Amino acid sequence: MDRRGEGVPTILERSVRLSGRLSDYELIDDAELHLTIWAGGPPAVT
C-alpha cells in the first residue's frame, strides 16, 4: 500500500464478495462511527 487508506475499498469490496452483504454504517451521537464489515463463510471443502 503506497498511501494510507488505499486498502479500505479493497477490504470493503472483498467483504461484499465473500459475505454477500454490504457493510453497515451507523452514526452514534454525531460523534462516532460504528462500522460492521461482515465475514465470509467457511471455505468450501473439496
How does residue 3 score in pLDDT terms, banded at 50, 70 and 90? low
Is residue 45 one of the residues assigned to a domain? Answer: no
**Where is pLDDT greater, at 5 or 46?**
46
On average, the pLDDT of the chain sits at: 84
Is residue 9 one of the residues assigned to a domain? Answer: yes
Q: Which helix (H) or strand (E) holds 24?
A: strand 24-28
For residues 9 and 5, give the distance between their C-alpha atoms in angstroms, rounded to a whole number: 8
3-state secondary structure of 28: strand
Yes or no: say if 21 and 39 are a contact pair by the CB < 8 Å rule. Answer: no
Which range of residues forms the domain containing residue 18?
A: 1-40
- Other Cβ atoms closer than 10 A to 38: 13
Is residue 46 one of the residues assigned to a domain? Answer: no
pLDDT at 20: 92
